[in-house]
Structure 1
């Protein structure tokens, strides 16, 4: 039976008929030839008596259940990152509680990967006086996460971006952080399209100069760096940087516009890790079944099938991450609600209001086009509920 719904699309109110795509069937025992982390969202508690713009309340059971789903699909979890609204509603004490609960849950899942965001967000940028304050903030979070047995993703610091006077200050901070890390870390370079407070990170607004500074830090400490995730939405720069990484250091793509071709790779470069990117992506939260199925096909040598599955998800991702890119979390959570992975569409910080009804309608259409509405009848029912809330 066909399903249709009236949507406010670019041409006005239009009747849209769903394509009735068969759901993706990821491998029962996923095996990939890429490391693939999904930066996972948090599920808010809509019944908590809090001021949602000021206080954080998390539905822990639903949040951990979503991570268990990602692990079952063979994806790792990048915990307490910007996808979990770190710095946009999720504070450091709640982030640490989230990391603890994820690590505990992962112990019951053979092979489950978890890497946890370590930042300086307990230090308000305007309260930072110098780089020593930033170092102390990083050290506090490092100690807390490593005490739980967690591996670190060293997140970009708003406080460091504010007080640093040039690349030398970044070198000093990262030298201290890397020197103390118990295990090799993943560095995270988040562009200012994701967070305007990070403009000029690595000591320069010139991205070529910034890349030289980042490569200098990695080259000086290759044994301490598992890889670097860059989220610049610039595939050319990612490839150029990938080919210059030291042996043993991976490029984790954070490019939610071009991930399919970056993960597939171009086969060029001196080292195997120079020829493709691994993945640490927020969009993998929303497209997890397709990502798992595609990565399984790639590992089996079926590159054409990998592209057939993953390429149709790219227009959806580009829409979710459209400017202002920092509001992409709203689309991620909307997808989880449409697909029945949470019972409501509310977010930490009230961020469900960050996108327009027209944005959600186009997201719905693109998700259907990519075969990512896992339960079409439920998705239509929930989309109609949202439309009714807006007077349609």
Structure 2
């Protein structure tokens, strides 16, 4: 038994699971990628706890770059590939712009892409403009920053994900500037890219992206960029936490352009799809859910939609908890679960982000994850949770 704090200041008694769920005892015997859906897990990074980690920089230019534990960081990517999942690298889940600056992200991309080649895993990497200082810039500087990062990603043999840019959001005067910048980039890319629409709930600095705070107007600009550059866009990654809007957008995409859901609230229904189509996935929550996600999607491979939903629907409560407002702090819960699961030996994050969530929030994340059987060694997870509670003055 363990006593866990709640948000009312009380302690409740919880009985941890004795054994992990059958689905997470180990990787599938054949770690082939699912055939019915393309599934990316956006991966977190493991900080080097013995070195200063960009405290106070917010991951932006200036200050000290994040120091990473490369062995643990790359081992976690091998863990994801072992289940047949694809890895989305150097994106929001990796604390991009919230502890991880471009210098650290560039090294992460190079190392992870090399690891992908070694194990035969698929990888896509975030391309942004975060080498620029905060504030407004001329469009030439924004394009140049994107080009620098895209060149590195393509040189490494990875697929580019054109991420939403804080610099472009601050600089653009309207939809025309987005058409200009993205059109310029898409004309140069050597392979089809993923376009990422990250909502302001994930990053308030991206309010009004695509030139309008009205999402219907923004959608028209987004679709125009795709339609004007046929063959250049593999898919779109939509992180708006609005399932109905995603379905409408998905149905309007040109043939051959995938919709990678980034909706960490509604992913089971969006990936299962309907008679008119489905979403693929590029999800931060698939970092902690990798074993269950892989098991679920393989059920879709055999046409077992009910089995897929039976595995994945129960995970939504955990995901909604991790991604509750302020949504951008979801990484703290993701890293907590990686520590509790034994994927890393500490709970320290770049930029000190381990303090971004309250102790009751973390305790509830532990409880929900344990209930799903996500911990390969429930005893280890319980012991680590007790240590975290005791450090903060709770006699568990």
TM-score of the superposition, structure 2-length normalised?
Answer: 0.94
Q: 2: CA distance between counterparts of 1:233 and 1:374?
A: 30
Q: How big is the shift at 1:148?
A: 2.0
Partner of 2:196: helix, strand, or coil? Answer: strand
* Superposition deviation, residue 287 in structure 1: 0.7
| Contact kept? 1:156, 1:188, Cα under 8 Å | yes
Aligned 8 A contact 2:169 2:207 in 1: yes
Find the partner of 2:348 among 346, 349, 352: 346
Q: Which residue matches 1:302?
A: 304
Secondary structure of residue in 2 paired with 1:341: coil
* Cα deviation, residue 51, structure 1: 5.7
Q: Cα offset for 1:109?
A: 1.4
1:250 is matched with: 258
1:132-281 paired onto structure 2 within 5 Å: 132-268=140-276, 275-281=277-283
Q: d(CA) in 1 for partners of 2:380 and 2:340?
A: 7
2:87 maps to what in 1?
77
Q: What is the CA distance between 1:135 and its match in structure 2?
A: 0.8
Partners of 1:119 and 1:155 within 8 A in 2 = yes
Say yes or no: does 1:119 pair with 2:128.
yes
Contact kept? 1:39, 1:282, Cα under 8 Å: yes
1:205-236 deviations in Å (ceiling 9; x for gaps): 00011011100100111200000001000001
Alignment partners' CA distance in 2, 1:181 and 1:87: 24
In structure 2, the partner of 1:271 is: none
Instruction: Give the conservation status (yes or no) of the 8 Å contact 1:31–1:299.
Output: no
Q: Find the counterpart in structure 2 of residue 332 from structure 1.
A: 334
Q: 147-156 vs 72-81, which deviates more?
A: 147-156
Match of 1:17 in 2: 15
Query: In structure 1, how many angstroms separate the alpha carbons of the residues matched to 2:330 and 2:153?
Result: 26
51 and 176 in structure 1: CA distance in 2 versus 1, 3 angstrom threshold: closer
Partners of 2:127 and 2:160 within 8 A in 1? yes
Q: Which residue of 1 aligns with 2:78?
A: 68
Cα distance per residue 1:356-388 (max 9 Å; x no partner): 000011111111222222211011001100100
Partner of 1:272: none
Aligned counterparts of 1:178 and 1:50: Cα–Cα separation in 2: 34
Name the CA shift for 1:23/1:383 in 2 (closer, same or farther; >3 Å). farther
Cα offsets for 1:297-324 (capped at 9, x unmatched)? 1112221111111111111000000000
Secondary structure at the counterpart of residue 107 of structure 1: helix
Q: Distance in 2 between matches of 1:125 and 1:133?
A: 13
Q: 1:40 aligns with which of 24, 39, 43?
A: 43
Matched-pair contact (CA < 8 Å) for 1:256–1:281: yes
Q: CA deviation at 1:27?
A: 2.7
Task: Note the residue ranges of structure 1 that are not aligned, 5 or more in a row.
Answer: 269-274
CA distance in 2, matches of 1:157, 1:125: 11
Where 2:282 maps in the other structure, the secondary structure is: strand
Indicate if the aligned counterparts of 1:153 and 1:185 stay in contact, CA closer than 8 A.
Answer: yes
Instruction: Give SS of 1:243's match.
Output: helix
Q: Give the Å deviation of 1:31.
A: 4.2
Q: Does the aligned pair in 2 maintain the 1:231–1:253 contact within 8 Å?
A: yes
What SS is found at the alignment partner of 1:222? coil
Take 1:318 and 1:363, find their aligned partners in 2: how far apart are those partners?
10
* Aligned-partner Cα distance in 2 for 1:51–1:135: 26
CA RMSD after TM alignment:
1.3
User: How many angstroms does 1:149 deviate by?
Assistant: 2.0
Q: CA offsets per residue over residues 325-371 of structure 1, 9 Å max, x none?
A: 00000011001001000000000000000000000111111112222
The answer to which of 87-96 and 44-53 deviates more is: 44-53
Report deviation, 1:28: 1.6
